[in-house]
Amino acid sequence: MRTRHIVQPIEETLKHPGFEERNKLYEAEAKARVPGVIQRALDDAELLTTDIDVIIYVSCTGFMMPSLTAWLINEMGFDSTTRQLPIAQLGCAAGGAAINRAHDFCTAYPEANALIVACEFCSLCYQPTDIGVGSLLWNGLFGDGIAAAVVRGRGGEGVSLERNGSYLIPKTEEWIMYDVKATGFHFLLDKRVPATMEPLAPALKDLAGEHGWDASDLDFYIVHAGGPRILDDLSTFLHVDPHAFRFSRATLTEYGNIASAVVLDALRRLFDEGGPEHRARGLLAGFGPGITAEMALGRWHRADETM
């Protein structure tokens, strides 16, 4: 990790002003920063707010009811009939889950467009009194980030989603979790988590197999794993060249682990590289609490190719 972005100066971040104040900061920072990120995603997709049918907002580092979706609809002029799907409890897997639920929605309604937003201010969950190994890892790895993307029922450029799936490693629901206290969300990380790529790799292979693909032999990989060593493990167990995970690695290096936003930022890097060739086959995946993998398979679609 070379650099990280955090919403407050480091001296403020290291203080704990209380859960109430933290959560007010979450709301204020989200309102200040999210609309601009959404606007860029809409502009890139050449869509207006009124073209969006569902907003899937994933965030595990602050809690608001109603979700920010209600404010966004009012503030940015989305239609009053826009569906709201806020997800707060899938942690780092939520970026993948957002893509997958958007894919489901557009499968049900092929004329629809889904907006995905991942907003994570991990620094607002820093707990100065937590000095266990898992907490020290969290503090060292995590960063703040916001990402947004549009999943279109038809058209556009990028990954044409073909199949998605979820996998829960049995009996691991306590390995990545929040302890919820008066001081807010306390991140607990079991020391067995770094070894989970071994049981998760077969789940990726199974999903690819159901699709007639070989997970070890795809053209691109957009994966969110917690840190660079876990990516190395995945490349070992999946028999994939570590270079394939360069997008995820670059996100971790430049921003730290920005939780559910990693997978969307890594995907942006694939776009920035010019994207693979038309109909290149790829895998998207995020891993998080549960321990849950949210996985998707798709082909790259270039807008300059005819359908």
Q: Which residues are catalytic?
A: 92
Pick out residues in 21-60 that bind a second copy (CB under 8 A): 23, 60
Find the binder of a second copy among 1, 8, 13, 64 (CB under 8 A).
Answer: 64
Residue 243 makes contact with a second copy by CB under 8 A: no
- CA distance linking residue 40 with residue 297, whole number of Å: 25
Residue 88 makes contact with a second copy by CB under 8 A: yes
Residue 190 makes contact with a second copy by CB under 8 A: no
Residue 89 makes contact with a second copy by CB under 8 A: yes
Find the binder of a second copy among 8, 13, 84, 216 (CB under 8 A).
Answer: 84
CB of 65 to a second copy, least distance (A): 4
Residue 71 makes contact with a second copy by CB under 8 A: yes
Q: Which is nearer to a second copy, 153 or 256 (CB)?
A: 153
Q: Choose the binding region for a second copy from 3-11, 67-75, 254-262, 264-272 (rule: CB under 8 A).
A: 67-75
3-state SS string for the chain: CCCCCCCCCHHHHCCCCCHHHHHHHHHHHHHHHHHHHHHHHHHHCCCCHHHCCEEEEECCCCCCCCCHHHHHHHHHCCCCCCEEEEECCCHHHHHHHHHHHHHHHHHHCCCCEEEEEEEEEHHHHCCCCCCCHHHHHHHHHECEEEEEEEEECCCCCEEEEEEEEEEECCCCCCCEEEEEECCEEEEEECCCHHHCHHHHHHHHHHHHHHCCCCCCCCCEEEEECCCHHHHHHHHHHHCCCHHHHHHHHHHHHHHCECHHHHHHHHHHHHHHCCCCCCCCEEEEEEEECCCEEEEEEEEEECCCCCC
Residue 212 makes contact with a second copy by CB under 8 A: no
Pick out residues in 169-188 that bind a second copy (CB under 8 A): 169-171, 173, 176-183, 185
- CA distance linking residue 185 with residue 121, whole number of Å: 12
CB of 74 to a second copy, least distance (A): 6
In this structure, the strands spanning 292-301 and 158-168 are antiparallel
CB of 192 to a second copy, least distance (A): 15
Q: Which is nearer to a second copy, 109 or 277 (CB)?
A: 109
Find the binder of a second copy among 30, 38, 105, 196 (CB under 8 A).
Answer: 105
Q: Which is nearer to a second copy, 77 or 242 (CB)?
A: 77
Q: Choose the binding region for a second copy from 101-109, 131-139, 190-198, 228-236 (rule: CB under 8 A).
A: 101-109
Residue 83 makes contact with a second copy by CB under 8 A: yes
Question: What is the distance of C-alpha 13 from the center of its chain?
Answer: 23
Q: Which is nearer to a second copy, 186 or 268 (CB)?
A: 186
Question: What is the distance of C-alpha 22 from the center of its chain?
Answer: 22
Residue 123 makes contact with a second copy by CB under 8 A: no
- CA distance linking residue 293 with residue 234, whole number of Å: 13
Answer whether 148's CB lies under 8 Å from 78's CB.
no
Q: Which is nearer to a second copy, 156 or 199 (CB)?
A: 199
Find the binder of a second copy among 44, 51, 104, 190 (CB under 8 A).
Answer: 104
Which residues are near a second copy by CB under 8 A?
18-20, 23, 60, 63-67, 69-71, 73-74, 80-91, 97, 100-101, 104-105, 107-109, 165-171, 173, 176-183, 185, 203, 288-290, 292
